[in-house]
Amino acid sequence: MTQYYLGIMSGTSLDGVDLALMDFNAQPTLIAAGFTPMPAEIRQKITALIQTGHSSLQMLGELDHQLGQLYAQCVNRFLSEKELSPEQIVAIGCHGQTIWHAPRGAFPFTMQIGDMNIVAANTGITTVGDFRRKDMALGGQGAPLVPAFHQAMFFNPSYTTVVLNIGGISNISVLAPNQSVIGFDTGPGNTLLDQWFEQHLGKPYDCNGEWAAGGKVNQRLLTHLLDDPFFQLPPPKSTGRELFNSAWLAQKLAETEAKSTALCPRDVQATLVEFTVQSQKRALQSLGGKWPCRLLLCGGGAKNPLFGDRLRLLLPDWQIATTTEFGLDVDFVEAAAFAWLAYRRINRLPSNLPSVTGAQSAVSLGAIFTA
């Protein structure tokens, strides 16, 4: 009987829970995938928690429990739909929900919630979670963790391959011949766009970038967005909604509008698209060398044509495609990565890359919760 690993990812975009069923017997292969929208109540609670940075212990504990139940329900529904039994799954790799990521400072930490004990108990499947903190204990940023998986999936000795994941936050993995893998967060992905769109149109995201396409980029605002100190930091670096959130955007808008007239909301959306792409370009333009450059897009933003079109114009010498064209659906790359991280942990294999995170050594990441 073939044995599989199941990856679960709920990211900074808060759109929902991705599941990826993977087979690692030979080349990593995506067998099946699923998606469950994030329940509105949980989404609102997480958003409020991230934006304020404050919560009661009661609320935090309840949200931890709710997310554990949600992940377990997603798994059980997925197995039923795919006619699979828990015995066919060696382990679940569950990222949990990041509510705060603070890799710099005197006491660096990261916090993901979603009780893995509940996931293991309610599914009957060994579950691996808490992937980031071991890397941080060894001096790393705890992120990004996915470049190691990207290397296993997409490395080609004839190219400098860069995997650009456009989720709530954008991050890149640089897979160059004869070089250590590097990877880091480039800045916002969809998070500011989604929050601004929901604030003004009451819907979770701008489908195909249609609203943004009707706006005009405001250069003064764009320049002010790009002057955030994060963009001057050298890698390894990581970020999240604790920095790039609606309060940060509101402050940038107020400072810009104090020197000019009020901005049209649709123009702000167009400017946020350009801001995202320009921050990605800044990270990419220093790469290259003697090998031809190939950019593979994944994450929800890979389906926004505005991103792909602008990147093709700004990076004319790059071959630009999506991971779907290379065998892994853009929507499930990160979920697949956490299945791979679970596989590495169960088999006691290293899964972080010190060249990416800054950790002192390569170790097997994750805590194991038995069923």
Q: What are 85-97's pLDDT values in tens digits?
A: 999 999 999 999 9
Cα separation, 120 vs 189, in Å, equals 32
Whether 4-140+334-369 shares its CATH topology with 147-326 is answered yes
Structural domain boundaries in the chain: 4-140+334-369, 147-326
pLDDT at 124: 98
pLDDT reading at 57 higher than 80: yes
What letters, b where the CB count within 10 A reaches 16 and e where it falls short, cover 158-169?
ebbbbbbbbbbb
Q: How confident is the model at residue 112 (pLDDT cuts 50, 70, 90)?
A: very high
Q: What are 261-291's pLDDT values in tens digits?
A: 899 999 999 999 999 999 999 999 878 678 9
Cα separation, 12 vs 3, in Å, equals 30
Q: What is the DSSP string of 163-182?
A: EEEESSEEEEEEE-TTS--E
Q: Which CATH superfamily is domain 147-326 in?
A: ATPase, nucleotide binding domain (3.30.420.40)
Residue-averaged pLDDT of the chain = 95
Helices then strands (H, E): number in the chain?
13, 13
Q: What is the mean pLDDT of residues 182-211?
A: 96
Q: E strands, the chain, where?
A: 4-9, 16-23, 29-37, 89-94, 97-102, 109-113, 127-129, 160-166, 169-175, 182-188, 293-298, 319-322, 367-369
pTM: 0.93
Cα separation, 333 vs 30, in Å, equals 9
Q: Per the structure block, which two tokens stand in for 367?
A: 């805590």
Q: How confident is the model at residue 50 (pLDDT cuts 50, 70, 90)?
A: confident
Q: Which neighbouring-strand residues pair with 163?
A: 173, 296
Q: Which CATH superfamily is domain 4-140+334-369 in?
A: ATPase, nucleotide binding domain (3.30.420.40)
